[in-house]
Structure 1
Amino acid sequence: MSSLLALTLAATLAAAPPPVLTLEDALSRARKENLDLKAAQARLQQADTASRKAWAGYLPTITASGAIIRNSDAAIIPPGLLSPVPIEIQPLIQRQAQIELRQAIIAPQLWAAIQGAYKSERVAELNVEQARREILFGVAQAYYGAAAQAQAVTVQERLVELNQARAKDTRVRFEAGTVTRVALLRAEQDLSRAEQDLIRAKNAAASARLVLATLLAFDEADFQVAPPPEPQVSPKTDTAAMIQRSLEARADVAASRETVELARINKRGVWLSYLPTLGVSGAWRIANSGGFTGQSDTWAITFAAQWTLWDGGLREANLSEASGRIAESEANARKAELTAREEVKRAQLDLESALANRLKAEQTVELARESQRLTDVSFKAGVATYLEVADANTALTGAEIGLVSERLQAAVAALRLLRSVGAFEARALDSDLKDPSVVPPTLRPLPGQSEQPQLAPQEQSQPQPEQQPAPAPQQ
């Protein structure tokens, strides 16, 4: 009895449908498990050490050393005029230890180094934030692609089922002598073509799930994707306002500006290297030989100044290099701003085109449905032929697949517009960008909107072609 129960349970588990992944599930897992995002966060942790390294040059350093030396000869001054007792200058076995402390008092070049370290950490934060946004946008894009491929498979499966029923009825009527062989061959060709298209659609859907599984760090793509929502974004939002928001909210633009400041700080550090430095050091030593003082331990405090008057032209070369880096970073910052402007304008145009194409695709589906319905009525009335019925159903399926594609393009175009403005999976740039546990809203409101864009459930375009009766004998 227990064996039968175990077998039943195993069969039930084996027949269980794969889990269904939603868009929010995908984004949530990507925030935690995406390997590219983990690598970016690890780079940020490495960059966080820059300020500590810079401060290390200005904070005190303490060193301790010790040694045991076997000299070839001992040096001892016998008792006499210098001392009534022997003075050991160099023992045969010499033991000594030392503790030394060094502290910079005035080090102008380190001032710029510390400031530049903090600035470089800020640049790293912004670069990681930009990488995080791009990674999550890629996840969303892959999710929409996988969902579109799944819908295409559903459409192809319905077409295969319809053609299977039609081919079966046509064969029965052919054997009964009520249809010609041409009709049977056409039905079998339609079925074979539909089966090939279904195989291609299934392989494309499996490939899209593999891409998504890799982004989400799944070992296997054993899941299904739920129909994704469509972002309700208007392409008519004021372009100037969106460009201004883009220049303020995009992490890559902010990083390019901070890089300019970093280059200027580094050049300032080269100028400060022309100034002298001042430091203090203290040392305490102990040895098994007191020497002339007779003291086994001694200490000393040293104030030292250093001023490099000429270093072979190295500083002048560094100044020239720093000026070139400033010019380079300024050009990159200007390019980042122009790129942001271009992406906003292009995303608006793409979204407008995608929405228009989606509307036309919806109209095409309605026309194809009406054409299929009229052809069906004509066929039942004996006016239309079997070939016309097959062409009408094929056209309807093609229109449905085209609508799936146009809906995907419209959704991705809306997400791309949000991304170009810095409103998709974006944290405020003045917040703590180092905290990976902070989850920003998926969509932020566009300029001029009081509420954030909504994710509306995607309407399913489900053609419902009826199985056609077998065609009458051809005249």
Structure 2
Amino acid sequence: MNALLLALLLSHLGPRPEVLLGATPAARARGKPTVRKVKATQAPPDTPPDARAKPPQGLPPEGAEDQAPSGPPTPEVSDPLLTPVPPAPIQMRSWDEALELVRQRSTDLSTAQAQVESAGGQARVALAGLLPSLNGTVLTQLNILDTDNTSLFFGGGSGGGGGLGGGTTGFQTSDPPVTGGSDTQTPTKPPVAGLLTASVALFNYQAITTLRTAREGQRTATLSLAETRRQLSLALARALVSVAAQERLAEVNRVNLRSALERLALAQRRLELGAGTRLDVVRVQQDAETARALVVVGDEDLRKAREALGLALGTPEAVGLAPGVRVESLMQRAQKDCRTLENLEGRSDLAAARSRITVAERQISSVKAQYVPSLSLSSTTVALTVKEDAVNVPFWNIGATLSLPFWDGGVREGLLRQSRAQATSARQQSLALERSVTIEVAQARRGVKVAQDSRDISSREQKLAEENDRLTRRSFEVGTGTSLELIQTAAALRQAELALVVREFQLERAKVEAFLAEAACDW
């Protein structure tokens, strides 16, 4: 027992020599003195009753040892860093609330939906190549040099070439009247003509293959949208777990800082009483500064995690978790919005990769279809304004067109080589994705067991570090331990507590990743 402890004990003694103090082995193991009472001599008969009732001076009252604290009182400490980080301006209370923000604000989701819409538009354009088309043209002309001698010209590039033979046809509108059909009628001045052209493809293999390719591309975009939903669910779950972990780490950092400041106050008190050295204070102060640094870094990590959650939710502000929200309940609700797949082949990214191969192969067929002749049916009618009647229809033509693609300078050959290369690239990308997904799923399944074992080991390490720190602190209080041992055990406890928090949230993250690795999200 050192001089400081002896001085503290003797300060409680009274002048009565028959009072004996001692420290039991159990008390020494706990690092605190225990008062052991010895039966006092019987008081003389003439002793006043009040004097007999009073316990001997220096002894605690009856039962006081049962009410005594387990150790010395904890010193009061204060530090600006002990103040927690202010809560985030936006706080999530449930998974459904977070998912609703993702639906409304996610740029990735909006982009994937726009790609689905674009693919649908391309499919509709491809379908138009197989459906009838109907075009109308209304025109009027005036001969500036001779207003009385005006002719109407219908060029092949104005939409009437199909029925008029693709050349330029003119109708004389000067006096005497021109003949349109079986009757002779005089056109109006200025003349007005209407041209109506209709066409339909009787056989167009290129349009058929283009439509099939476009519809498969639409299916690819839909599968990509499903994969985007799965990735957004995974990113949201990771962000929520990260925020919860960083909030817990920030809390643990402050607990460790308070403990370090309490050890510093104890070392300074020992130095003031002459039982400690300046070296002890410096060592403990170094440990306190290390704890402060962890608080500063942990607070910044918490702010970054909140900002990352805000970006995942589609907002530029920091987002945190509402008080009392447990990450376990959030993850359980997240698993209800996604369904487990019966086999890995149904995962959206693998299905999209296989669909891209189909698109590339059909593009090859589309290029080959350009070598096949096409047959179309067209009809054209013209109406003129005349003086004798409102409208005169001079003719109505109907014809068929057979297109024979003999030579285009090598354009089709180049497109064929390009489409074949794209198909090969799509196959290789799909094969690489299948390999990586197989490893990803295997690692995700194994990761849950690894995270569980790591969490259990960290839990045992934390308990041992806590007990070691408690015993070392008691030894330091009674003077049998050194400041170096106190700092080492405190640092070990701090690392064990932080590791336990990280392992707990890694376990939750591993469970979510293992589930979503073989799931489809249809929200």
Assess, with a 3 A threshold, how the Cα gap between structure 1 residues 150 and 103 changes in structure 2: closer, same or farther: same
1:407 match:
504
2:22 match:
none
2:50 is aligned with 1:50: no
Assess, with a 3 A threshold, how the Cα gap between structure 1 residues 395 and 61 changes in structure 2: closer, same or farther: same
Q: Deviations 1:199-224 (Å, cap 9, x if unpaired)?
A: 11101111111111111123421533
Q: Deviations 1:394-432 (Å, cap 9, x if unpaired)?
A: 211110101222233333333333333x22xx23xxxxx
Superposition deviation, residue 97 in structure 1: 1.8
2:261 match:
164
* 1:273 counterpart SS class: helix
Matches within 5 A, 1:21-170: 21-22=92-93, 24=95, 25-71=97-143, 72-73=145-146, 74=149, 93-170=190-267
Superposition deviation, residue 111 in structure 1: 0.8
Q: Deviations 1:55-105 (Å, cap 9, x if unpaired)?
A: 1222222222122211244265759xxxxx9876x8873322212222222
Q: Give, as a single letter, the amino acid of the residue that structure 2 aligns with 1:203.
A: E
- Provide TM-score, normalisation by structure 2: 0.67
Assess, with a 3 A threshold, how the Cα gap between structure 1 residues 295 and 16 changes in structure 2: closer, same or farther: closer
1:384 match:
481
Q: Deviations 1:275-328 (Å, cap 9, x if unpaired)?
A: 2222222222122469xxx95543222222222233333333333333323222
CA distance, structure 2, for counterparts of residue 140 and residue 166 of structure 1: 39
1:229 match:
328
Q: Over alpha carbons, which structure has the higher Rg?
A: 2
Matches within 5 A, 1:360-375: 360-375=457-472
* 1:103 counterpart SS class: strand
CA distance, structure 2, for counterparts of residue 158 and residue 145 of structure 1: 20
Matches within 5 A, 1:222-371: 223-224=320-321, 226-229=325-328, 245-246=343-344, 248-288=345-385, 295-371=392-468
Assess, with a 3 A threshold, how the Cα gap between structure 1 residues 208 and 87 changes in structure 2: closer, same or farther: closer
1:3 match:
none
- Provide TM-score, normalisation by structure 1: 0.74
* 2:234 counterpart SS class: helix
Assess, with a 3 A threshold, how the Cα gap between structure 1 residues 169 and 367 changes in structure 2: closer, same or farther: closer
Q: Give, as a single letter, the amino acid of the residue that structure 2 aligns with 1:151.
A: R
Superposition deviation, residue 273 in structure 1: 2.5
Q: Give, as a single letter, the amino acid of the residue that structure 2 aligns with 1:281.
A: S
* 1:93 counterpart SS class: coil
Assess, with a 3 A threshold, how the Cα gap between structure 1 residues 355 and 223 changes in structure 2: closer, same or farther: closer
Assess, with a 3 A threshold, how the Cα gap between structure 1 residues 224 and 78 changes in structure 2: closer, same or farther: closer
* Matched positions, count: 395
Superposition deviation, residue 377 in structure 1: 4.3
Matches within 5 A, 1:447-466: none
2:59 match:
none
2:25 match:
none
Q: Give, as a single letter, the amino acid of the residue that structure 2 aligns with 1:55.
A: L
Assess, with a 3 A threshold, how the Cα gap between structure 1 residues 160 and 344 changes in structure 2: closer, same or farther: same
* 1:53 counterpart SS class: helix
User: What percentage of residue pairs aligned between the two structures are identical?
Assistant: 25
Q: Give, as a single letter, the amino acid of the residue that structure 1 aligns with 2:98.
A: A
CA distance, structure 2, for counterparts of residue 387 and residue 336 of structure 1: 54
Unpaired runs of 5+ residues, structure 1, are 1-14, 80-84, 233-241, 428-437, 440-475
Contact 1:61 1:101 in 2 (8 A): yes
* 1:261 counterpart SS class: helix
Q: Give, as a single letter, the amino acid of the residue that structure 2 aligns with 1:355.
A: Q
Unpaired runs of 5+ residues, structure 2, are 1-85, 150-171, 178-182, 333-339
CA distance, structure 1, for counterparts of residue 264 and residue 400 of structure 2: 101
Contact 1:351 1:410 in 2 (8 A): yes
Contact 1:101 1:283 in 2 (8 A): yes
Q: Give, as a single letter, the amino acid of the residue that structure 1 aligns with 2:132.
A: P
Q: Deviations 1:144-193 (Å, cap 9, x if unpaired)?
A: 22221111111110011122233334434433444322233233322222
Contact 2:267 2:284 in 1 (8 A): yes
CA distance, structure 2, for counterparts of residue 404 and residue 308 of structure 1: 72
Q: Give, as a single letter, the amino acid of the residue that structure 1 aligns with 2:196.
A: I
Q: Deviations 1:425-446 (Å, cap 9, x if unpaired)?
A: x23xxxxxxxxxx53xxxxxxx
Contact 2:133 2:198 in 1 (8 A): yes
Contact 1:243 1:341 in 2 (8 A): no
Q: Deviations 1:319-347 (Å, cap 9, x if unpaired)?
A: 33333232222222222222221222333
Contact 2:280 2:484 in 1 (8 A): yes
Contact 2:253 2:298 in 1 (8 A): yes
1:472 match:
none
* 2:405 counterpart SS class: coil
Assess, with a 3 A threshold, how the Cα gap between structure 1 residues 389 and 95 changes in structure 2: closer, same or farther: same
CA distance, structure 2, for counterparts of residue 222 and residue 322 of structure 1: 47
1:11 match:
none
Contact 1:243 1:344 in 2 (8 A): no
Assess, with a 3 A threshold, how the Cα gap between structure 1 residues 332 and 189 changes in structure 2: closer, same or farther: closer
Q: Deviations 1:361-383 (Å, cap 9, x if unpaired)?
A: 12211211221233244345543
* 1:217 counterpart SS class: coil
RMSD over aligned Cα atoms = 3.3
Q: Give, as a single letter, the amino acid of the residue that structure 2 aligns with 1:59.
A: L
